[in-house]
Amino acid sequence: MARFRAAAVQSALWSEHKLPSGVVMRFSRSLSLLAAACVATLAGAREPDVRLPDIGSSAAGMVSPQDMYDYGAGALQEMRAYGMVLDDALLNDYINGLGYRLVANSDHPNLRFTFFIMNDAQINAFAMPGGFVAANAGLITAMRREDELAGVLAHEISHVEQQHILRAFEDTKKMSIPIMLAMLGVLVAAAGRNDDAAPAALAAGTSLMQQRQINFTRSEEAEADRFGIQILSRSGFDPNAMASAFQALQKVMRVNGVDIPEFLLDHPLDTKRIAEARDRAAQLGCPSEQRVRPMRPAPSAGGSLNLSLPSRQAETGAKDALDDADAVAASEAATTTIEKSSEDPGALPKVSVTACASRGPAVQGYFELMRERARVLSAPSQTTMRAYYANNLRDDPGFDTVANRYGYALALMRSSGAAAAVAELRKLVERQPNSAPLGLALAGALDLAGNKAESLKVYEGVHADFPGNRAVTMSYADGLLGQADEANARKALELLRPLVARYADDPDLQKSFGRANQLAGDKVRAAEAYAEAAWLTGHPEDALNQLKALSKQSDLTYYQRSRIDARITQLTPAVLALRKRYSPDSGDPKSMAPLACCEPPSLQIRVGPQ
């Protein structure tokens, strides 16, 4: 996590407190005494190793929760503009399901979080204001178990819930002013002297601010470890996983020599910290019972309403029943269940998060599929990835797993090897017919190989098994849009419309929704969706330009014009603020950049992983 740098604060304070050239020397003695008192007081202060949980500190009043969310959302949009975010529906659903399973068992389950994956091979994770938590693709590929990845996410969740970003800013403000006053006093007292008193005062003050920042960071990390381990245990994960994740990072550091993972640069790690993490885990012990409820069949009318992702319809035979259980366990890392008692119609529904409590082969297998997917989609060279899988599958029998075969097929699809990918994926789907990732990959490979009819048939079958799943629905809709005709576009619209209401901040979904409306003949809705995609991908002026051009059309209905004008009103202040930040001399609202992003595209449709 990025820290507020003391040097920047020091520079700002110097610029605001310039000494006049004719300072009267009779104040030097009193200022020197003040300097000595300030330095002695700060140096004698003891930083606690672990703070108590925040129960309403003054840091919470510095920035409103909405302002923090807006800041985090804006940062995410800018990172998308630079191509730094790995936007993939399967991976997004997985990381958010895993993250919210942890949040649901934290001390603040009602906080809003957004989990996303950075398109970066470096091993790192960080949290931003507003509950935005990022995990690099390199971190996911470095983890051996899902529990280890959960441990890192729990650590970052704790940083957010304990308000460490605001506390760091508040602590920097509190410590900087007295230290700077002390340094000023020493400089005044040393005026006219030829010794090293002034440089020594500067060095001492700077070192003291840096040391306090290090102490604060260590305290934050210890607190995040402690609360993160508690979250792990409550969520049904192995509480030792955080320590084992740290050890995995240390192993990477030893293998790479001087190349220290970025996570360790921002998260100081030593043997003591690992030992403390294991000690806390030993005190908690491994979960002895399921912390979450198992999946249940859909209830009859009048019973509880279950919104869990349904599995394939039960078939006869013990083998089919086992396959269904595995599919349910692997298809989603976490789902939401809402129950309402029929005996009391006025009672509020009880909301809980359910997930696979068993850390068995199905859960580990799904994690490994997502790990290899992240490895392939974040790789800079697909030819290199193709050779990586091919060589290891040829030389190492232990490498021949479903997950690695899946990764090999994805690499083939992304390097002009669709036909070979189809052959690989057919075998995998025969082994695991209820796996949504494998089914989607097969459908995408068939489409790339030119077999569009069979591709749509496979998409339809996977969607029938997993209705409502975002990744499945988006992939099926994109397959329909690939036909580039109005009938299939209208069918895609029926699939996408419910998703847009639930995932309005998904830029890929907005692009697909815009394409579907365009092919179906609704040009206004298409332009709105493309503008929204431009906004979400860090092109705010493009979004505003498109909406303004749309509002000038004379044939808009009352409701269309009202909707468009309302969105323009929302976006205009943000666009003006961004323009002022990057172009201080530009104050003319009409000086918009030409539209460069997210115009109605040609018939290039994303089908399957690309």
Cα–Cα dist 86/450, whole Å? 27
* Cα–Cα distance, 224 to 192 (Å, whole number): 49
Q: What are the beta bridge partners of residue 117?
A: 135
β-partners of residue 335 are 354
Q: Which of 88, 120, 146, 156 is catalytic?
A: 156
**Are 516 and 539 in contact, with CB atoms under 8 Å apart?**
no
Tokens 């990390």 sit on residue: 221
Burial of 272 (0-12, 13-18, 19+ CB in 10 A): exposed
Q: Residue 118, exposed/middle/buried by CB under 10 A (0-12, 13-18, 19+)?
A: buried
Half-sphere exposure of 525 (CA within 13 A, CB side): 17
Residues 423 and 421: their CA atoms lie apart, in Å, by 5
Cα distance between residue 530 and residue 513, in whole Å: 8
Q: Which residue, among 300, 295, 368, has the nearest Cα to 325 in the 3D structure?
A: 295
Distances (CA, A) of 43 to 161, 185, 207, 208: 29, 17, 11, 7
CB 89 within 8 A of CB 263: no
Say which of 147, 220, 223, 225 is annotated catalytic. Answer: 225
Tokens of 1: 């996590």
- Whole-angstrom distance, CA of residue 466 vs CA of residue 332: 10
Backbone angles phi, psi at 114, to 5 degrees: -135, 120
Partners of residue 341 on adjacent β-strands: none
131 within 8 A of 111, measured Cβ to Cβ = yes
DSSP code for 532:
H
CB 16 within 8 A of CB 279: no
Q: Quick one: tokens of 322?
A: 């086992």
Angle between helices 558-582 and 523-536 (to 10 degrees): 20
Q: How many angstroms from the chain centroid is the CA of residue 106?
A: 18
266 phi/psi in degrees, rounded to 5: -95, -15
CA 542 to chain CA centroid, Å, is 25
Phi, psi of 568 (to 5 degrees): -60, -45
Q: Is residue 225 annotated as a catalytic residue, yes or no?
A: yes
Q: Which residues are catalytic?
A: 156, 225
